[in-house]
């Protein structure tokens, strides 16, 4: 899985989900990459949004020669809450939890569809038991919501084998 495929997958989910309703050609932003926030963008919008966090990668070989590329990723569904308004907080948490579960169900459904064919149709195959949904907030201008974290099971493009053509003075084991 390429990082650009991961971002595109969730951007398309944000476009197609009726509540998020992201429009990349409109100033009504509802989809952000973590890098946007780290580079100083704040979430001053007054609507629900999806924030996609970058992935981390680790190897998993289960004592075999079939190294797997295990990527942990996550998305956050956030909405601003009026300061000191408990009723608004409860409404926001209910709404964002429902949307977070919608995203989790899409990930699982796409994984199942992809596993049922000989060629995967999506860039991410998620380990179903790895999905965790946890509360967030307050963060970024009093936003609250839910984080959906998951583990993507994929392959390294080269099986994590040394390519001697890319090195000086290196040989393959």
pLDDT, position 33: 67
User: What string of pLDDT tens digits covers the 173 residues of the chain?
Assistant: 788 888 889 989 999 999 998 888 875 556 666 666 666 566 666 788 888 888 888 888 766 667 778 889 999 999 999 999 999 999 999 999 999 999 999 999 988 888 776 665 666 678 889 999 999 999 878 899 999 999 988 777 777 778 888 888 888 77
Rounded to whole angstroms, the Cα distance separating 5 from 146 reads: 23
What is the gyration radius of the CA atoms in the chain, in angstroms? 19
Strands 49-60 and 31-33: parallel
Q: What are phi and psi of 9, to 5 degrees?
A: -55, -50
Enter the pTM of the model. 0.83
pLDDT, position 113: 84
Q: Give me the residue label for tokens 């049922």.
A: 116
């Amino acid at each position: 899985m390429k990082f650009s495929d991961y971002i595109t997958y969730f951007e398309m989910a944000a476009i197609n989900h009726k509540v998020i309703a992201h429009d990349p050609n409109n100033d009504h932003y509802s989809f952000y990459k973590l890098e946007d926030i780290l580079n100083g963008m704040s979430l001053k919008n007054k609507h629900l949004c999806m924030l996609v966090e970058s992935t981390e990668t680790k190897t998993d070989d289960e004592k075999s020669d079939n190294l797997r590329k295990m990527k942990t990723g996550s998305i956050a569904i956030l909405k601003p809450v009026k300061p000191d308004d408990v009723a608004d907080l409860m409404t926001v948490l209910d709404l964002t939890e429902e949307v977070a579960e919608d995203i989790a169900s899409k990930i699982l459904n796409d994984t199942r569809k992809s596993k049922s064919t000989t060629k995967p149709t999506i860039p991410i195959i998620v380990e179903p038991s790895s999905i965790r949904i946890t509360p967030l907030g307050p963060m970024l201008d009093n936003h609250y919501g839910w984080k959906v974290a998951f583990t993507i099971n994929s392959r390294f493009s080269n099986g994590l084998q040394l390519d001697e053509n890319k090195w000086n003075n290196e040989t393959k084991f």
